[in-house]
């Protein structure tokens, strides 16, 4: 049995949880998210917390138990507080900006500028031309967009130029030894 799956999910008073068979809709001040549970997972709603349990004892249901609880917990956190990922751009001449169409324009050392279109429900902010903040209620899409932006120019190990997460530590290599 999953240790994570056993923990109840606390729900504040400003969050609505609607359970329709295996489809769960969570509404909060920031928005609304939906999730379809696996057939092996059951959910019970006590007005202050959600309890996730399994209805069959097999390997797959045990694997899905903790996963389902974590996904639902992320949904509750997303509709109440939201998620944010912060990226930093380092390098001479590297910069980012937002255009009128809400697209992220990156100048990161290529001969052309790179445009990133954010998916619906995601907001991108740029501070000081070098700090990119990605906000949203779905943890998966926020993390996926941050990873996509980082993959456009990952930090290189010699000078550390590129796009990195704010708290990411880049292991530096020693360059060529002179004669």
The answer on 38 and 15 residing in a single domain is: yes
The answer on 58 and 8 residing in a single domain is: yes
Identify the CATH number of the domain in which residue 9 sits: 3.90.930.12
The answer on 65 and 136 residing in a single domain is: no
pLDDT digits (tens, 9 = 90+) for 28-65: 999 999 999 998 899 988 888 989 989 888 888 888 99
**Residue 146 DSSP one-character state:** H
Query: What is the spatial distance between Cα 151 and Cα 38, in angstroms, rounded to a whole number?
Result: 32
In a domain, 35, yes or no: yes
Contact by Cβ (8 Å): 35, 24 = yes
Q: Which SS3 state, helix, strand or coil, does residue 101 take?
A: coil
In a domain, 95, yes or no: yes
Contact by Cβ (8 Å): 41, 50 = no
The answer on 32 and 70 residing in a single domain is: yes
In a domain, 92, yes or no: yes
Query: What is the spatial distance between Cα 162 and Cα 145, in angstroms, rounded to a whole number?
Result: 16
Query: What is the spatial distance between Cα 41 and Cα 50, in angstroms, rounded to a whole number?
Result: 13
In a domain, 179, yes or no: no
Consecutive H or E run containing 114:
strand 114-116
* In the chain, alpha helices (H): 3-6, 59-80, 139-152
pLDDT digits (tens, 9 = 90+) for 129-164: 999 999 999 999 999 999 999 999 999 999 889 999
Domain that holds residue 30: 3-80
Q: What is the pTM of this model?
A: 0.88
């Amino acid at each position: 049995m999953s240790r994570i799956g056993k923990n109840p999910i606390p729900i504040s008073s400003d969050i609505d949880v609607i359970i329709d068979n295996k489809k769960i809709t969570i509404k909060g001040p920031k928005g609304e998210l939906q999730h379809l549970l696996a057939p092996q997972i059951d959910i019970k709603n006590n007005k202050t917390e959600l309890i996730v349990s399994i209805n069959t004892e097999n390997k797959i249901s045990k694997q899905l138990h903790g996963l389902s609880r974590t996904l639902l917990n992320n949904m509750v956190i997303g509709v109440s507080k939201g998620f944010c990922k912060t990226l930093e751009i380092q390098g001479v001449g590297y910069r980012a900006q937002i255009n009128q169409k809400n697209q992220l324009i990156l100048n990161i050392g290529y001969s052309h500028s790179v445009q990133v279109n954010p998916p619906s429900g995601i907001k991108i902010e740029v501070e000081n031309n070098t700090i990119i903040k990605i906000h949203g209620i779905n943890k998966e899409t926020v993390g996926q967009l941050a990873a996509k932006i980082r993959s456009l120019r990952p930090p290189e190990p010699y000078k550390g130029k590129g796009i990195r997460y704010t708290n990411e530590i880049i292991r530096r290599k020693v360059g060529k030894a002179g004669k």
